[in-house]
């Protein structure tokens, strides 16, 4: 049996503000109603995973055990890092290498970790890579 990822849920103190941060970073749209939970999705109704922001009374106290790895689709990794910084993110680790590989580990305004990787256009075409579907 298969399952589909429906939401990537963030506990947070200010759901609308954190949703706006992630919407600006991803280019997605904020959706909300009278419920205190706020959703960010590429479009409505969503047909794939969304981000769900749920207000909770306690703050973040430890490192995330799960985080998002973001790959820019319309700009370079460095431009995406600059955008994230301008939106209020902070760099928590810079793992870029001289050859252009690597990533930047960041935290959103409430401390949730995420990484920004190179865009597809910044990656070399790998040699000898093959893909296959299990059960085919």
Which domains, ranges and CATH numbers included, belong to the chain?
1-57 (3.10.180.10), 64-124 (3.10.180.10)
Helix extents (H) in the chain? 15-26, 77-86
| CA pair distance 13, 58, nearest whole angstrom | 8
Pick the closest to residue 121 from 100, 93, 94 (CA basis).
100
Residue 130 above 90 pLDDT? Answer: no
pTM assigned to the model: 0.84
- Residue 86: pLDDT band (50, 70, 90) is very high
Tens of pLDDT along 31-62? 998 889 999 999 988 888 999 999 999 988 88
The tokens of 39 are what? 């959703």
The tokens of 40 are what? 């960010």
Question: How far, rounded to the nearest angstrom, does the alpha carbon of residue 62 sit from its chain's CA centroid?
Answer: 18
Tens of pLDDT along 62-78? 888 889 999 999 999 99
């Amino acid at each position: 049996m298969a399952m589909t990822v429906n939401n990537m849920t963030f506990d947070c103190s200010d759901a609308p503000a954190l949703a706006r941060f992630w919407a600006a970073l991803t280019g997605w749209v904020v959706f909300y109603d009278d419920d205190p939970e706020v959703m960010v999705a590429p479009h409505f109704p969503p047909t794939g995973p969304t981000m769900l922001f749920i207000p909770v009374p306690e703050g973040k106290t430890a490192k995330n055990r799960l985080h998002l790895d973001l790959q820019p689709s319309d700009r370079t990794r460095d431009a995406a890092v600059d955008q994230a910084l301008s939106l209020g993110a902070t760099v928590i680790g810079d793992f870029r290498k001289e050859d252009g590989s690597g990533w930047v580990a960041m935290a959103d305004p409430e401390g949730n970790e995420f990484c920004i990787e190179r865009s597809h256009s910044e990656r070399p075409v790998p040699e000898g890579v093959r893909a296959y579907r299990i059960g085919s």
